[in-house]
Structures are given as structure tokens and as C-alpha cells.
Amino acid sequence: MPRPKCRRHICGMPDKNYFKPRGIPAVDLEEVVLTLDEFEAIRLADYEQLYQEDAAAKMNISRQTFGRIIETAHKKIADVLLNGKALKIEGGEVALDDTKTSCQSQRRKAGNNN
């Protein structure tokens, strides 16, 4: 019996959770689901440009687990871009980590850039 997954910590829910190619009705598109932990991994590694070890610590997971999550997320995003599919962000074993100082400072930083 496999060990149960730990809840991965995320800073918040994305404002937008569905992306699709322009001009193609959603009913005609295949959907790819990006889980919330995969979305958070993309945010930390690619947007915030954190090292995997630091990003893993923020998500309360090991560096190896973070590496697997980011690899899966990159493959899904590449599939969406290369094959013209829709991207839906939802689900996953996550814990919303609103109270952490790092999450609050990231939100303030994002708010100042708008």
C-alpha cells in the first residue's frame, strides 16, 4: 500500500484558472489539468526564480518531490502550447498557506507591480 501524499503548501489560489487558444470553442478542445501544487511549483521555480531546494521548503516537500512536480507541470504546459489544448488549473492535495509571511510579502509585491 503506498504512503499517503502529504499536503503541499501553496500561497493562494490563482485568479484565473482556465486558458485556451483564441478562436476555438472550449467544447472542441481537449483539456489538460494542472494541479494546484504544479501551479505553485511553476510560480516558485519559473516566476519567482527560486532554486528547487528553496521552493521545496516553501511547499513543505522534499527537493526530489519538487523536481518530479515541476517536471510534470512543464510537460503539461508544453503539451498545451504545442498541441493547442485548453489548460485548467484545479485539484491536488494542497494546504492553503495564507498566514506565512513569505506569502503575504509576495502578494504585496505583486500588488505594487500592477
Band (pLDDT 50/70/90 cuts) for residue 15 is: confident
Q: Tell me if 44 is assigned to some domain.
A: yes
Q: Tell me if 1 is assigned to some domain.
A: no
Q: Tell me if 2 is assigned to some domain.
A: no
Q: What is the pLDDT of residue 97?
A: 73
pTM value is 0.78
Strand partners, 87: 19, 32
Total count of domains within the chain: 1
Those residues whose C-beta lies under 8 Å from the C-beta of residue 112, and which sit 6 or more positions away, are: none
Q: What is the spatial distance between Cα 52 and Cα 45, in angstroms, rounded to a whole number?
A: 7
Q: Tell me if 73 is assigned to some domain.
A: yes
Q: Which three cell numbers stand for residue 111?
A: 500588488
Sheet with 31-34, strands from edge to edge, namely 18-19, 86-89, 31-34
Query: Both ends of the chain: CA-CA distance in Å?
Result: 48
94-103 pLDDT per residue, tens: 677 765 445 6
Strand partners, 31: 86
Q: What is the mean pLDDT of the chain?
A: 83
Q: What is the spatial distance between Cα 37 and Cα 59, in angstroms, rounded to a whole number?
A: 8
Q: 53 or 59, which is more confident?
A: 53
Tell me: pLDDT of 52 over 70.
yes
Where in the sequence is the domain holding 51, given as residue range(s)?
Answer: 8-19+28-112
